[in-house]
Amino acid sequence: MYVNNKKKACEYCNIHSEEYTFDENVKEEALLELIDCLNASKSIHGILVQLPLPKHIDEKKIINAISEKKDVDAFTPANVGKIMIGDYDFLPCTPAGVMELIKESGIDVKGKECVVVGRSNIVGKPQAMLLLHSHGTVTICHSKTENLKEVTKRADILVVAIGKAKFITADMVKKGAVVIDVGMDRDEEGKLCGDVDFESVKGVAGAITPVPGGVGPMTIAMLMKNTIKAAAL
């Protein structure tokens, strides 16, 4: 579904896109060879590898093979390092989408208590850095955090990205907080939901993103933005 939505977004933006699909038993060398070809192509400006990869593939090696000027997911070490110092070409699409949502909602991050639940390289860590660059006071929580409820309840801005359906409940949220749900899960009935129990939390939160229809579309919009920027580099 996510890949198809990316392709539709490219069509909408009049961006040419190509999809390369491999068997799950594909050899690492075949992926590296394709990336080398795409890096060299003057007609391709953005490259992304849909994660996760099969277990026999070295994910880090594959990501590192992408040219930093075509790394529209901003996953390569060079681009991650640029984000750390606040001097970047590209931002990871989901954290960038979250920041755009905050900005367009008229919410000022400066001086706010910001809590990010989840420490992945794709969302949690870069999200914390972007909130920090916007002058928020940032805490990162994870599976080893003690007294998680006490920490999340301090948050003026709470971003959740852990992949556990409806994990964050109303008693874990400060009244009036901005709650941004990055999760994409299935509930006990098989329905699409997020990491936040939307129905219970919406009565407490000052603002909250739904799943689906919240962060997801913003992630794809930021991918389009990165691709257009890459074409201009």
Predicted local confidence at residue 1, as pLDDT: 78
Domain 2-83+218-232 and domain 93-214, same fold? Reply is yes
Could you tell me which residues are beta bridge partners of residue 207? 178
Catalytic residues: 6, 50, 73
Domain extent listing, the chain: 2-83+218-232, 93-214
d(CA 206, CA 190): 28
CATH class given for the domain over 93-214? alpha beta
Predicted local confidence at residue 11, as pLDDT: 97
pLDDT along the chain (233 residues), means of 10: 91 96 96 98 96 94 97 96 94 97 97 98 96 98 97 98 97 98 93 96 98 95 97 93
Predicted local confidence at residue 23, as pLDDT: 94
Predicted local confidence at residue 136, as pLDDT: 98
Architecture of the domain whose range is 2-83+218-232: 3-Layer(aba) Sandwich (3.40)
pTM to 2 decimal places: 0.93
